Structure 1
Amino acid sequence: MKIIVILFSVFSLFISLTGPSFAAISQDQREATYRELEIFANVLSILQENYIDEIDADTTIEGAISGMLRSLDPHSSYLTAEDFDELQDETRGNFSGIGIEITIRDGILTIISPIEGTPADLAGLKAKDLIVKINGDATKDMAAMDAIKLLRGQKGSEVTLSIYRDGWQELKEFTIIRDIISLHSVTGLFLEPGFAYIRITNFQGQTTKDTKALLNELNLKNPIKGLILDLRNNPGGLLDQAISISDIFLEEGLVVYTKGRIQEQNMTFQAHANNGKNQYPLVVLVNEGSASASEIVAGAIQDHKRGVIVGTKTFGKGSVQTILPMPGGSGLRLTTARYYTPNGRSIQATGIIPDVEVPHITYVKNTKEERILPEFVREADLKNHILNGDRQPKQASEPALDTEVKGITQEERKTVADRLKKDNQLRSALNILKSLNLYTEYKTNSAPETTPQPKQSKEL
């Protein structure tokens, strides 16, 4: 009797998920599906009667569903009630763990990116690192959700990862102390007067609201004349937030569209007019850790030629996952569509190629390599050089560090100087942004003046 109830549950689950579309399946396909489900029920019955140990039918079916979804793609998965709660915690903004986004690539547990400032980031984990073992247990054939359970844990507890990185000859172990990962996703400041910098670490429920508030705050301190939007190592998040972040900088047109198997999965998302607000020069920083929602933003900005994309090729996660609640608090995370940029490019497995490619150069602090830029000998350095003829020569120089520039505190200036020194991609982005600003000012100032033409009288 129990096996009949289980079989009925499987049929009910199948029909409820497919809904009306099940009727659209051909008679041959329906009959084939019924036969396979009958085989499944027979196998389960044999296991219950003959397996060496007594099995729990619910656990076995849950494992079968997980295996079925895992065979489809790296991002589809079955969520237990506990998994479903954890996913909601992430969206709300905090959880206890080490702070990495992972996926399964070619059957291997792979880091999409560490979240900035988290224990994983501070320990030195990087995008594309392969997690071979967790606490000594091999991750081969391990589902992503199972790995997440092992990576998370009580604050202050330890987890040891065996990592392989391209170019290494052997595995390296990282022992990391778990902490509360607070996903406040938006930070920013001025790099120079008028040139703002905003970093988005992931896309969660408050991201757009926080970004708009920060832009307003910065603009009140010092009118923004150019912005760097840093999406490096941003693993993605909520689709609606990626769309609304793009909308901040676009005046009109398509942001992104999705295409799936059924009509309900085909959606388009448009930008709305901002009345010319936020139309200053824009540079978007990306790298191999920029994925999903980050790629949507970068792709929209690039296709509309609204800004310059700088950095390295992005991760290439261009698929849509839909969360379907299930009875008992569990759920399905199901891939239902692909993302396409406004120009019709699929992000999936191709990523976004930057307009200006700038590979990251690792900063190493020692006496030789700490000085990033070489020093050159100038005329003023030569012995007995001729003095400038002006009694009070005008020199363009940075304000002394003990004074405040409008909108930039002394502490922020020190932070910016240190960041620019260590981050070659950010330095390149700032130089590009300043060039864009100069070009914009030149175009504005050199536009020919128009004189009103006298009205032509018409003789009757």
Structure 2
Amino acid sequence: MHSHPLTIMIRSIFTLILCCCLSVSSVLAETDKQERDLYRDLETFANVLTLIQQYYVDEVDSGKVLTGAINGMLSSLDPHSAYMTAEDFRALEEETSGSFTGIGVEISIRDGVLTAVTPIEGTPADRQGIQPGDQIVRINGKLTKTMNLMEAVKMLRGEVGTKVTITIHRKQWKTPKDYTLTREAIPLVSVNSMVLEPGYGYIRISNFQTSTTKDVVSALAGLRKKERLQGLILDLRNNPGGLLDQAVNVSDLFLDKGVIVTTKGRFKEEQMVFEAHPTGGGNTFSMVVLVNSGSASGSEIVAGALQDHKRAIILGTTTFGKGSVQTVLPLPEGAGLRLTTAKYYTPSGDSIQATGIKPDMIVPLVPVIPETENVTEAAAANTTIREKDLPNHLKNETLAPGYRPAKEKEMGNQEENFQRVDEIEQVSKRLEKDNQLRTALIILKSLDFAADQATD
């Protein structure tokens, strides 16, 4: 029985790989037994491929089979290692640079099941009520059990305006439910901020991308323009992570010294210690950090560093527990390998892998049940209507063309006051709906009160 030409070629490739492996193994002082096992396993693979080529019922696409073998090999390692085609690689670059097209949910494979880590705020997944921990059992009717991570990502993404149906299983439900979502361009606005009360600011980081640290610095400067900053709430809820260096740099903004995070891998280059630098004492205000089960990876680095250094009170619920670092390794023709290369450890030396960051104060989010289901009434309650918004409202004659009001400055101040009233109303509504945010603000004010009493 003659070997298939493709099998002969693959055996040659595997012989070359084996030679490389044996060379590396001598450097790493691997045993003879490990070398023999490796050779036997590669030989088994080549034999299986030969049998597939010769006896499978249909003609086999060898490229597809080999890609499947690579995906199976990587998925056997951990849920976050994956092979990326050139298209997948480009999508990853777009995401870290600030936008992508899809439904807006970070996913992972947990216990062999495709799982939602967190929906991105304001996206189709968020508006439809997808929650951290939801199991995605089907995408457009196709079972996800056999998919790797990148295959699932590819199915969830697509052209703007197209629809995708996902079947969700939630622990509280007896049967799964279908959700049909319309894909959108997902702009990853990394940082948002607002003043909660005079002297107390709020910054939300939705993910860590290339501009995150710069955006946080700008947000802090904006908050300081309005009042002396006495306290800050840093919201990392439903933040799935992102770029490691950005999580480190954000932590560095609030720490003057000490270790932020340590990474440990098999080789020397993965043994890294990231330390804080003096900030000149500019960020000495009190802090509360909000986290939940959707806070993962980079957001856990920040929360862990600020908690261990007693720089902030961590409030909310236990985080996701992703304590590993992935490195993207380029492959020929634009493809890439996303490979777990290290684990990270908090300043105290703890790994949060599969355990998460436990808050200093456990405060579950209590959802607000709307008093009315009437959409018109709900919309009216959330809209500020003024005289100028009414149809056929009377014009202010003093603002007629050619007329210069004597108190232009006062009119400008009045407009600023209107804007401030709007901001206060928005903050009030946010605090009313968010018991975790309310609790964090009360704690901040209590800390300042206690500090004032101590100095008196």
Bin for the TM-score computed over the shorter chain:
0.7 to 0.9
Is 1:313 the counterpart of 2:318 in the alignment?
yes
Given the two structures, how large is their TM-score scaled by the length of structure 1?
0.85
Aligned to 2:214: 209
Counterpart selection for 2:35 from 30, 33, 43: 30
Is 1:116 the counterpart of 2:121 in the alignment?
yes
Is 1:302 the counterpart of 2:307 in the alignment?
yes
1:40 deviation in Å? Answer: 0.9
1:406 deviation in Å? Answer: 9.1
**Structure-2 change in CA distance of 1:210 and 1:15 (3 Å):** farther
Aligned to 2:140: 135
8 Å contact from structure 1 (residues 193, 407) kept in 2 = no
Letter of the 2:213 partner, please give it: T
Given the two structures, how large is their TM-score scaled by the length of structure 2?
0.86
Is 1:40 the counterpart of 2:48 in the alignment?
no
What pairs up with 1:76-87 in 2 under 5 angstroms? 76-87=81-92
8 Å contact from structure 1 (residues 218, 407) kept in 2 = no
1:3 deviation in Å? Answer: 2.4
Aligned to 1:198: 203
Unaligned runs of 5+ in 1: 369-401, 447-460
What pairs up with 1:224-243 in 2 under 5 angstroms? 224-243=229-248
8 Å contact from structure 1 (residues 7, 41) kept in 2 = yes
Aligned to 1:3: 7
Counterpart selection for 1:436 from 441, 447, 456: 447
**Structure-2 change in CA distance of 1:314 and 1:403 (3 Å):** farther
Aligned to 1:419: 430
Letter of the 2:215 partner, please give it: D
**Structure-2 change in CA distance of 1:72 and 1:356 (3 Å):** same
Q: Which has the higher helix share?
A: 2
Aligned to 1:376: none
**Structure-2 change in CA distance of 1:404 and 1:350 (3 Å):** farther
8 Å contact from structure 1 (residues 311, 425) kept in 2 = yes
8 Å contact from structure 2 (residues 287, 312) kept in 1 = yes
Aligned to 1:456: none
1:20 deviation in Å? Answer: 4.4
Residue 215 of structure 1 aligns to a residue whose secondary structure is helix
1:10 deviation in Å? Answer: 4.1
Counterpart selection for 1:91 from 91, 96, 112: 96
8 Å contact from structure 1 (residues 107, 141) kept in 2 = no
Q: Deviations over 1:157-210 (max 9, x none)?
A: 111111111211221211111100111110001000110000000011110011
**Structure-2 change in CA distance of 1:404 and 1:243 (3 Å):** farther
1:423 deviation in Å? Answer: 0.5
| Stretch deviating more after TM superposition (256-265 or 68-77) | 256-265
Residue 228 of structure 1 aligns to a residue whose secondary structure is strand
8 Å contact from structure 1 (residues 162, 171) kept in 2 = yes
What pairs up with 1:153-168 in 2 under 5 angstroms? 153-168=158-173
What pairs up with 1:245-284 in 2 under 5 angstroms? 245-284=250-289
Q: Deviations over 1:222-250 (max 9, x none)?
A: 22111000000000111101100000000
| Sequence identity (%) | 53
Aligned to 1:175: 180
8 Å contact from structure 2 (residues 22, 35) kept in 1 = no
User: Matched residues in 1 for 2:20 and 2:447: separation?
Assistant: 55
8 Å contact from structure 1 (residues 251, 274) kept in 2 = yes
1:261 deviation in Å? Answer: 1.9
Aligned to 2:364: 359
8 Å contact from structure 2 (residues 18, 39) kept in 1 = no
Residue 7 of structure 2 aligns to a residue whose secondary structure is helix
Aligned to 1:291: 296
1:28 deviation in Å? Answer: 2.2
User: Matched residues in 2 for 1:175 and 1:17: separation?
Assistant: 48
**Structure-2 change in CA distance of 1:114 and 1:60 (3 Å):** same
1:49 deviation in Å? Answer: 2.1
| Stretch deviating more after TM superposition (344-353 or 28-37) | 28-37
User: Matched residues in 2 for 1:409 and 1:14: separation?
Assistant: 69
The CA RMSD over aligned residues, in Å, is 2.2
Aligned to 1:455: none
8 Å contact from structure 2 (residues 82, 339) kept in 1 = yes
Aligned to 1:54: 59
1:86 deviation in Å? Answer: 1.0
User: Matched residues in 1 for 2:19 and 2:352: separation?
Assistant: 32
**Structure-2 change in CA distance of 1:426 and 1:299 (3 Å):** same
**Structure-2 change in CA distance of 1:341 and 1:71 (3 Å):** same
**Structure-2 change in CA distance of 1:170 and 1:186 (3 Å):** same
Residue 169 of structure 1 aligns to a residue whose secondary structure is coil
